[in-house]
Chain A
Amino acid sequence: MDSRFADALARLPDYFGNHVLVSLAALLLGLAVSFPLAIASRRRPVLRAAVLTATSLVQTIPGLALLALFYPLLLGAAAFSERAFGHSFSALGFLPAVLALALYSMLPVVRNTITGIDGIDPAIKRAALGVGMTERQTLLMVELPLALPVIMAGIRTASVWVIGTATLSTPIGQTSLGNYIFAGLQTQNWVSVLFGCVAAATLALAVDQLLALIGRGLSARNRRSLVAGGAGLCLIIIAALLPNVSMGSRGYVIGAKPFAEQYILATLIQDRLRTRGHLTTRKDGLGSAVIFNALAAGEIDAYVEYSGTIWTNQMQRTDVPSREQVLREVGQWLKDRFGIILVGRLGFDNAYALAMLDRRAAELGVTSIADLQRLAPRLSIAGDYEFFGRPEWKAIEKAYGLSFPKERQMQAEFMYPAVAAREVDVIAAYTSDGRIREFQLRVLDDPKSAIPPYDAILLVSARRAADEEFLAALQPLTNAISLEAMREANQQVGGGISPEAVARTLAKKIGR
């Protein structure tokens, strides 16, 4: 069996279980809200229009954006609750995912319930009144049973949407089948991507069919299909609960941003803790802002950050002092503001850097960013989704007076091949990326120091600041990994080796 497949299979209980639980909670919550809302609005035209418009509007928000929006919203709510009641809750993972997905599930349930009841022959409704039913009895004994097939179709649509969209809850910290897809995309592990897609699709189809069976059983009063459908759903839920029940304590939670280097380093940290007998959990695929807030809130215990990210994004600094000074100020700031411990630098830096195909740079005679000034209007540049919105890009543009006619955003996986194929001229590469060597790129000098240093640094949450055992386990990683060693490791993942295997090789190589 392919090791990548075996690896994916080993993670299935955890990913599947979490995926089912978050989907189930979202669907139940969605139903609990939308169903009464639809019933209440069926004879109130104003409420009905408002409900339908609002739920339709939610559908126009892309799933990923909706999920992402709930995180800061809950963060604010958690902070408020902390101040007001002295009790906070986690704004990461389960809660925002459930709320966003529940909102997402509302439209089909609301619309189908209203349509289903509207579609009943008026003669039947008159007959219900005529035989002496009250409004409530008409609803329960006639309207709902007759609208059931349409309502059930709505619930089926909602469940398929929720199960599919739940894959997008990975970046806000909710483990799901999306972990396969996000991690796979970053590490070019297509087996993992495919595995995640197939697993999510299979789950969605299975639930859809089981709900159809239950619907048929209810309308045709076929007890056997009702029982079969119900048993199938129960089985899925039990299968989902099993790994989550057995996993009582989460131990130390290690976070990782969604790219190969982070997966390698998180594994490295995890392995060190494991060999010392500690329980560990991973929170993978968190975005830059999310992961920092999660550490500040104590929802994760440690992760690898880059000094420049804190400097520009969190501290909002635009000046670029020396590497040592940035490190010192970042450490002080983190400690003062959040009680976060900067354990130390790992030894390499992963900065943004403008890079060109070496041959192309030679043709054009470019060695530093300054050389691009006169050429920029004729060249194209590509960066990841974050880059062109980041302060350092503004700083580079300003410092060197660059004006590219077009800024293209793409996933890093496609950016490197694009520059190699000369589809773009300049890319915003990462200095520790193995592909710089692989694709023979030239990293352009930054003589005006517009780009701040991005030393890889190990951060520990305030909650674990006094945990000697924990800090002692992490300490040996400081100054242990050279830029060369990291590039090589990154390149190996790009070549199809799992981050876990690469992490073990790296650990051996650096003797830790």
Chain B
Amino acid sequence: MTQVNAIRIEGVCKRFDGIARPALDDIELSVGAREFIVVVGASGSGKTTLLQLINRLSEPTAGRITIGGIDATALDPIELRRRTGYVFQEVGLFPHMSVAENIAITPKLLGWEKRRIDARVNELLGLVRLGADYGPRFPSQLSGGERQRVGVARALAAEPEVVLMDEPFSALDPLTRDALAQDYRRLHDTLQLTSMMITHDMLEALGVADRIVVLQAGRIVAEGTPKALLEHEHTYVRELMQAPRKVAARVASLLGDGVR
């Protein structure tokens, strides 16, 4: 990667008061511009904490994080969050605002003109395949998949370069989850985003990632392309790969039998 790294995490530790084991322990990670990186780990592995450190919803106990080459602590956290897209696990749409208002929130905070906001909202509703007629609806009137599409649109609204996603699709049914993940991957490519997604589902990671990072008990135990990870020796990584492998083998054998 010749370009400067979009995100660089250097020797980061995070401890919480009253808990002996650090949530994150000596994390080293670089995310290149336009890279799609997926962090895989079980619950409690520290993956959400890692994500929150990047847009300063939380601060590291030790170590340094740079965003676009600038030390994160030198940036105004509010400013940083406004130009970083964030998709939440629980969706986190504001229930008292319409879909259009939810999407418009960050541009509005940034003081965009109304015309520009309206145009951007319509554009995004198209990009996430909802259509302009969804604008006036309220979150409570949407399905889970539709809601998360709005969540993605809201994260992209202020034209961020970096998008952080905290298990964005894990609450959805497999079909919807896959459709959304593929749609997002397409957006990542066309909009030339830098994306960092966290998930506990290796299958999902394999489907979209340029690079996968495996987190276990606050430490990075493996990192590499999906292909490289399939050959990885680490016990935990092999364990994680078992399920996708089994599914692949089963599907292959079924296809080999000529059953359609």
Which of B81, B94, B95, B96 contacts A132, CB < 8 Å? B81
If A123-B90, A137-B109 touch, does A131 touch B82 (CB 8 Å cutoff)?
yes
Main secondary structure, interface of A, reads helix
Contact with B along A135-147 (1 / 0, CB 8 A): 0010001100110
- Residues of A near B94 (CB, < 8 A) are 124, 127-128, 141-142, 146
Which bracket fits the contact residues of A? 10 to 19
Q: Are A130 and B96 in contact (CB under 8 A)?
A: no
CB distance from A404 to the nearest CB of B (A): 66
Contact with A along B88-112 (1 / 0, CB 8 A): 1011111110000000011001100
B57 at the binding interface (Cβ < 8 Å): yes
Q: Are A126 and B92 in contact (CB under 8 A)?
A: yes
B187 at the binding interface (Cβ < 8 Å): no
Main secondary structure, interface of B, reads mixed
CB distance from A348 to the nearest CB of B (A): 70
CA of A145 to CA of B94, assembled, Å: 10
CB distance from A343 to the nearest CB of B (A): 67
Q: Are B81 and A130 in contact (CB under 8 A)?
A: yes
If A131-B81, A145-B96 touch, does A126 touch B88 (CB 8 Å cutoff)?
yes
B36 at the binding interface (Cβ < 8 Å): no
B120 at the binding interface (Cβ < 8 Å): no
B148 at the binding interface (Cβ < 8 Å): no
B55 at the binding interface (Cβ < 8 Å): yes
Q: Are A130 and B93 in contact (CB under 8 A)?
A: no
B86 at the binding interface (Cβ < 8 Å): yes
CA of A148 to CA of B130, assembled, Å: 30
Q: Are A130 and B78 in contact (CB under 8 A)?
A: no
Within 8 A of B (CB), among A218-254: 219
- Residues of A near B90 (CB, < 8 A) are 121, 123
CA of A130 to CA of B106, assembled, Å: 10
Q: Are A146 and B57 in contact (CB under 8 A)?
A: no
- Residues of A near B88 (CB, < 8 A) are 123, 126-127, 130
If A131-B154, A132-B110, A133-B105 are given as contacts, then 9 extra A-B residue pairs at C-beta distance below 8 Å, sorted by A number, are: A123-B90, A127-B94, A128-B94, A130-B81, A131-B105, A132-B78, A141-B105, A142-B94, A146-B94
**A-B interface, 10 closest residue pairs, ranked by CB to CB distance from nearest:** A127-B92, A132-B82, A132-B81, A123-B90, A130-B86, A145-B96, A131-B106, A123-B92, A131-B105, A132-B109
Which residues of chain A have a CB within 8 Å of any CB of chain B? 121, 123-124, 126-134, 137, 141-142, 145-146, 219
25 A-B pairs (CB sep. < 8 Å): A121-B90, A123-B88, A123-B92, A126-B57, A127-B88, A130-B81, A130-B86, A130-B88, A131-B82, A131-B105, A132-B78, A132-B79, A132-B81, A132-B82, A132-B106, A132-B109, A132-B110, A133-B78, A133-B105, A137-B109, A141-B94, A141-B105, A142-B96, A146-B95, A146-B96
